[in-house]
Amino acid sequence: MHILQVTPYFPPTWAFGGIPRIVDGLSRALVEKGHSVTVLTTDAFDESQRCGLANDRDHHGVRVLTVRNRSNRVAYRHQLFLPVGVQEALDTLGSTVDVMHLHGHRHLLNNEAVRWAASYAVPYVLTANGTLLRHERKVGVKWVWDRFVSGHVPKGAAKLIAVSSADVARHRSAGIDAGRVERIPNGLDLGEFEALPETGAFRARLGLHEGPVVTYLGRVSPRKGVEHLVRAFAGEELGDAQLVIAGNDMGAMGTAKAEPHGSNVHFAGLVEGDDRLRLLSDTDVLVYPSADEVFGLVPFEGLLCGAPVVVADDCGCGELIAEAGAGLLVRYGDIEGIRSRIRTLLEDREAAQAMVGRGRRYVREQLGFSTIADRHLAVYREVAR
């Protein structure tokens, strides 16, 4: 089977969140199972840089077609991708594609790919990954966009993939028929966590003292609740614990930094590659205080690195953390709740490590990319021409 994956960002682009990691892992797992995979993406890297790689390249057996994006600043600041040359790039595939998989919603790369797919009668599936409903920012603009630009994209999908039960409910709210929705969680590259780095390297890099390290890792956008976590560290109620905020600014870093904080709060910026694993390996408690999050990879990555987790109950990964008994849940925005749960995990290390053990077993049994790829293949085979 020849599968076309469509995503506006792909490795080595990490500044836009977890979708590049998800598409990369899924694509490689599909290749390992004997299938042909092509990825269509743009050259967006971050706000000011382009990825600078060949327009047609091999990536671990995956063919990657990269088209130029007119303005990376506009893409980064407003999630408005303006791709150039999409039809020409896709025409090199001819009629070989059996099924197309779109990742994310409301970007013009999807529109161009859907137009191409129609000309070749290629069916497609859509994983919106939390972008199906209009929320967080620019709700009015998103309404106009859905009305006049891309509202036809979900309607034309043969199947829509929801990544959690919360996401299934969102699809229902969007008027999607239940028979068109499949629940498949996002996957993780388990091999990445087999040989973890020695502890202490990231702690030394930031000049942290020997006290416990509490970490937030991810994009810093308005719904992530980072300011609530910073506020939980105000005063001395968490003793010598120190907080590391690691992530790129998607419009909320100023709010987080404006919260009163002392020398026990550190803003590390975007952390990529092996540094991400070094940070997670040095973490004593990982906190993911987000709202309206349909999944969230970071808590599961933290568990694989040995970090117990506190997760907001208003996110899709919270339901899986609860199902696995792998962490503590907290109500979004509950400052004292965040503080008390951090304290619980720091004080009862035996219980914390038991949660980590359960979480690791759950991830390895349920969320490895090989397992997740098999579930996607079942959907692809159902809709393929």
Same domain as 240, residue 179? no
122 and 76 belong to one structural domain: yes
What span, in angstroms and rounded, lies between the C-alpha atoms of 39 and 372?
Answer: 18
Least confident of 74-83, 167-176, 236-245, 338-347: 74-83
Q: State pLDDT tens for residues 319-341.
A: 889 988 999 999 999 999 999 99
Report phi then psi at 328, rounded to 5: -110, 140
Is 18 in the same domain as 140? Answer: yes
Cβ–Cβ under 8 Å, residues 255 and 267: no
pLDDT, tens only, 85-105: 999 999 999 899 999 999 988
Q: Are 120 and 155 in the same domain?
A: yes
Q: Check if the beta carbon of residue 265 is closer than 8 Å to that of residue 242.
A: yes
- The answer to whether 245 touches 43, Cβ cutoff 8 Å, is no
The mean pLDDT of 225-251, rounded to a whole number, is 86
Structural domain containing residue 122: 2-187+368-383
* Same domain flag for 252 and 120: no
Q: Tell whether 210 and 183 lie within a shared domain.
A: no
Which of 44-48, 109-113, 190-194, 249-253 is predicted with the least confidence, judged by mean pLDDT?
Answer: 249-253
Percent of the chain with pLDDT over 90: 59
Spatial separation of the C-alpha atoms in residues 195 and 43, rounded to whole Å? 31
Q: CA angle, 95 as apex, 91 and 98 as ends, to 5°? A: 115
Q: Which helix (H) or strand (E) holds 357?
A: helix 349-366
Euclidean distance between CA atoms 268 and 254, whole angstroms: 14
Q: Outline where DSSP puts E strands in 172-252.
A: 181-183, 213-217, 242-246
Task: Say whether both 86 and 126 belong to one domain.
Answer: yes
Kindly report the CATH number assigned to the domain that includes residue 34: 3.40.50.2000
| Range of lowest pLDDT (149-153, 225-229, 236-240, 348-352) | 149-153
Contact in structure between 41 and 8 (CB atoms under 8 Å): yes
**53-79 average pLDDT score:** 86
**314/210: higher pLDDT:** 210
pLDDT of residue 255: 55
Same domain, 220 and 356: yes
48 phi/psi in degrees, rounded to 5: -125, -10
Token pair, residue 30, equals: 């599909």
How many domains is the chain partitioned into structurally? 2
Based on the domain organization, do 83 and 93 belong to the same domain? yes
Residues 155 and 271 in one domain: no
Mean pLDDT along residues 38-46: 90
Q: pLDDT (tens digit, 9 = 90+) per residue, 162-206?
A: 998 888 988 898 889 999 999 999 999 999 999 999 999 999 999
Which of 312, 265, 343, 300 has its CA nearest to residue 190?
A: 300
Residues 197 and 101 reside in one and the same domain: no
Average pLDDT across the chain, whole number: 88
In this structure, are residues 205 and 244 in contact, taking their beta carbons and an 8 Å threshold? no
Burial zone of 198 (CB within 10 Å; 0-12 exposed, 13-18 middle, 19+ buried) = exposed
Q: What is the pLDDT of residue 139?
A: 62
DSSP 8-state secondary structure symbol assigned to residue 149: I
Q: According to the model, what pLDDT value does residue 106 have?
A: 79
160 & 208 share domain = no
pLDDT at res. 256: 58
Residue 119 CA to residue 6 CA, distance in Å, equals 17
* Core vs surface per residue 311-335: b (16+ CB within 10 A) or e: bbbbbbbbbbbeebebbbbbebebb
Tokens read off for 110 = 């999807």
pLDDT tier at 140, thresholds 50, 70, 90: low
